[in-house]
Structure 1
Amino acid sequence: MEKILTGIRSTGTPHLGNILGVMIPSINIANMNEKNSSFIFIADLHSMVQINNIKTVKNNTYQIAAAWLAFGLNTENCLFYRQSDVSEVTELAWYFSCFFPYQRLTLVHSFKNEVKKKISLGLFSYPILMAADILLYNASIIPVGKDQLQHIEIARRIATSFNKRINEKLFVLPNAFLQKEAMSVPGTDGEKMSKSKNNWINIFSANEILKKQIMSIRTDNKSLKEKKNPEQDYIMSLYKLVAPSEKINEMKEKYIKGGYGYLEAKISLYEMILHKFSKERKKFFSFMKKKSLLDHILYSGAKKAKNVAIERLNKIRKCLRLNSIKL
């Protein structure tokens, strides 16, 4: 049984790019897959690299959980848990960190891009913890965006190295499942949607905030009367991702014909998002009022994940000639 693993850091409410590119495809896979073959976790430990306020991390975790559930994740068919509730992952990360070469970690993009700043040891060792997330459960399929491919390669290197060291196939080599959709969701500036770039659209925002985000989408300076190219417009790019085909064709015709302004196009996008995600928005706000229920769901998933993790970790300890006492 091939295992699929997906994690999202608890850095805040998932934006439209997260939802379309990662969450919906992962939910579809998890709901159709064999029971308990899909691992979906909220990476609260990873998020601490960026956020040091524990209360913020906790609240963000609730928002991520509410979003997954609002979009229909069947938690009876998968393991849905909070990363920090399965402490075995940090023990495995320590073993990996003792064997993985320091110099190779200095070449990781996420470290090199931040090296001029005051960075934490957590950011430096981020790929090691990510490898532990994957290899602890022997997950073989990892849905990721293009920016995470290097981290999957590190996990493969670690798995290969350990297998050779102990002369046993202890770890399955994980494979990246590249989600093209995740790379094609533009932000309000046309670049890949990202919270760090502040170009994101939060469908769970209050109406006035959501509208303000959409109104900030960058456009050219063509007048209302002028014809516009629907293939070179960020509003149109987003509209294609959320609207039905007949509505997309209607907007295209208006662009080509002329006499249709960007303001009107933005309003159409705003109204379409409200319409398309009305049920999910309602469910999200409902879950956010029931945090004890969210805790129960996450703890239930963590218990299942922990059972798998303990069994796997005992095998790893034996291979490392460490004690494997069942506590």
Structure 2
Amino acid sequence: MALPVRTNSVKGLLFSIQKYKVAKRLFCAGKCTDDKETPGRRIFSGIQPTGVPHLGNYLGALENWVGLQDACGSVLYSIVDLHAITMPQDPAHLRRNILDMTASLLACGIRPAHCILFQQSQVSEHAELSWILGCLTSMPRLRHLPQWKMKSKQKNEGSVGLFTYPVLQAADILLYRSTHVPVGEDQVQHLELAQDVARIFNNRYRDLFPEPRALLSASRKIKSLRDPTSKMSKSDPQRLATIHLTDTPDDIALKVRKAVTDFTSEVTFDPERRPGVSNLVAIHAAVSGQSVEEVVWGARGLDTARYKEVVADAVNHKVAPIREGIVRLRAEGGYLETVLAEGAARARELAVPILAEVRKRVGFL
């Protein structure tokens, strides 16, 4: 028996499945196996301290981070506060956000015993390497990056830091001689800059840096509940658009119930023609570990109002232990600071000798 998917959406569904399979294959091709079998592999990724993540952050990146820390013996995750100040920040608010992000990562399943979790600004080698690499990077190359074009228009040209932060991203990666970086599709061009800078340095000063490879996440992008054509975002002015990992069960039930759908009651997956319902299906699949096909099949006979209750229950089941962990860890500020300090010390053990070699090759030593 066929799945209850619209006939005119089969082509779109097959394309979505094909795209998912390609992304999954790309992800698995670069994914580390046991570190003893793949010596020299190292993963690096960073996240800005924007406070408690939302559901899209978790399903799009953090859930993947949790899996990667057990898949490779050398993994570094950084809370990139140097990147955060490319936009104006209230100092007290920034500090709270750093600790909130730390609590959130731990609650999501990041374990300092299995990776290095640290605050970027506590390892000054990031900034020094960024300066050195910036001197090897042309201004036209940075102007080519799409995020600069977008953000500079919003900020009327923006700051020097906003312009050069892709170089700092490259320094974050290369400082640890990282070989793999988990990225979304919108970050691939910034990783290509890191690859370019590694080649330029290696050509000028002899081989030192590997060219880092992308680990493309196979996770589906989660859309806004109020505008399913846009990504779920923490900065969305509509309160009901975004599910935060600290939302209560009632909050989640309300937001899902108010999610934009359409006037067709049947549950189908058709992102082009039915983006709202398809977004709920994608969320349901992601939090339950099922495929889209399984979710649509399980929802046969339900109208969208009843299906929203099912989705809310599934989201709550996934989010509840994370929410409880965040609440508990937020009250343990001293412990969070200790985690970050110990992580920074471990990160510096790796960073110091690599930067020393860079300084020697450049001619500083």
Match of 2:144 among 104, 107, 129: 107
Using the TM superposition, give the Cα deviation of residue 288 of structure 1 relative to its aligned residue in structure 2, in angstroms.
Answer: 0.6
Using the TM superposition, give the Cα deviation of residue 244 of structure 1 relative to its aligned residue in structure 2, in angstroms.
Answer: 5.7
Q: Measure the CA separation in 1 of the matches of 2:163 and 2:244.
A: 29
1:280-291 pair list within 5 angstroms: 280-291=322-333
Tell me if 1:235 matches 2:259.
Answer: no
Distance change >3 Å, CA 247–CA 46, structure 1 → 2: closer
Match of 1:171 among 185, 209, 215: 209
Answer whether contact 2:252 2:316 (CA < 8 A) is retained.
no
Answer whether contact 2:43 2:181 (CA < 8 A) is retained.
yes
Q: Measure the CA separation in 2 of the matches of 1:98 and 1:162.
A: 10
Corresponding residue for residue 171 of structure 2: 132
Corresponding residue for residue 66 of structure 2: 27
Corresponding residue for residue 264 of structure 1: 306
Using the TM superposition, give the Cα deviation of residue 146 of structure 1 relative to its aligned residue in structure 2, in angstroms.
Answer: 0.4
Q: Measure the CA separation in 2 of the matches of 1:149 and 1:55.
A: 32
Match of 1:142 among 181, 187, 193: 181
Tell me if 1:220 matches 2:262.
Answer: yes
- Which one-letter code corresponds to 1:53 in the other structure? D
Aligned residues: CA RMSD: 2.2
Q: Measure the CA separation in 2 of the matches of 1:144 and 1:162.
A: 23
Q: Measure the CA separation in 2 of the matches of 1:176 and 1:196.
A: 27
Using the TM superposition, give the Cα deviation of residue 209 of structure 1 relative to its aligned residue in structure 2, in angstroms.
Answer: 3.4
Tell me if 1:151 matches 2:196.
Answer: no
1:77-92 pair list within 5 angstroms: 77-92=114-129
Q: Measure the CA separation in 1 of the matches of 2:325 and 2:267.
A: 37
Distance change >3 Å, CA 24–CA 106, structure 1 → 2: same
Using the TM superposition, give the Cα deviation of residue 114 of structure 1 relative to its aligned residue in structure 2, in angstroms.
Answer: 2.4
TM-score w.r.t. length of structure 2: 0.80
Q: Measure the CA separation in 1 of the matches of 2:253 and 2:200.
A: 51
Q: Measure the CA separation in 2 of the matches of 1:246 and 1:65.
A: 31
Answer whether contact 1:203 1:210 (CA < 8 A) is retained.
no
Using the TM superposition, give the Cα deviation of residue 210 of structure 1 relative to its aligned residue in structure 2, in angstroms.
Answer: 3.1
Q: Measure the CA separation in 2 of the matches of 1:19 and 1:184.
A: 11
Corresponding residue for residue 222 of structure 2: 185
- Other structure's SS at 2:233 match: coil
Q: Measure the CA separation in 1 of the matches of 2:78 and 2:56.
A: 18
- Other structure's SS at 1:115 match: helix
Q: Measure the CA separation in 2 of the matches of 1:48 and 1:3.
A: 27
Deviations 1:195-247 (A, max 9, x none): 2445432121234433343234210123xxx4342444222221111126599
Q: Measure the CA separation in 1 of the matches of 2:196 and 2:266.
A: 53
- Which one-letter code corresponds to 1:24 in the other structure? E
Corresponding residue for residue 4 of structure 2: none
Distance change >3 Å, CA 243–CA 128, structure 1 → 2: same
Answer whether contact 2:148 2:163 (CA < 8 A) is retained.
yes
Q: Measure the CA separation in 1 of the matches of 2:291 and 2:115.
A: 35
Deviations 1:154-213 (A, max 9, x none): 1111110011111x11111111111121x4333312233232445432121234433343
Tell me if 1:64 matches 2:101.
Answer: yes
Q: Measure the CA separation in 1 of the matches of 2:329 and 2:213.
A: 33
TM-score w.r.t. length of structure 1: 0.88
- Which one-letter code corresponds to 1:235 in the other structure? L
Answer whether contact 1:111 1:124 (CA < 8 A) is retained.
yes
Corresponding residue for residue 160 of structure 1: 199
Match of 2:234 among 195, 207, 225: 195
Deviations 1:118-143 (A, max 9, x none): 31222111101100100000101000
- Other structure's SS at 2:215 match: strand
Using the TM superposition, give the Cα deviation of residue 307 of structure 1 relative to its aligned residue in structure 2, in angstroms.
Answer: 1.5
- Which one-letter code corresponds to 2:201 in the other structure? F
Using the TM superposition, give the Cα deviation of residue 310 of structure 1 relative to its aligned residue in structure 2, in angstroms.
Answer: 1.0
- Other structure's SS at 2:51 match: coil
Unaligned runs of 5+ in 1: none
Corresponding residue for residue 45 of structure 2: 6
Q: Measure the CA separation in 2 of the matches of 1:11 and 1:51.
A: 12
Using the TM superposition, give the Cα deviation of residue 27 of structure 1 relative to its aligned residue in structure 2, in angstroms.
Answer: 1.4
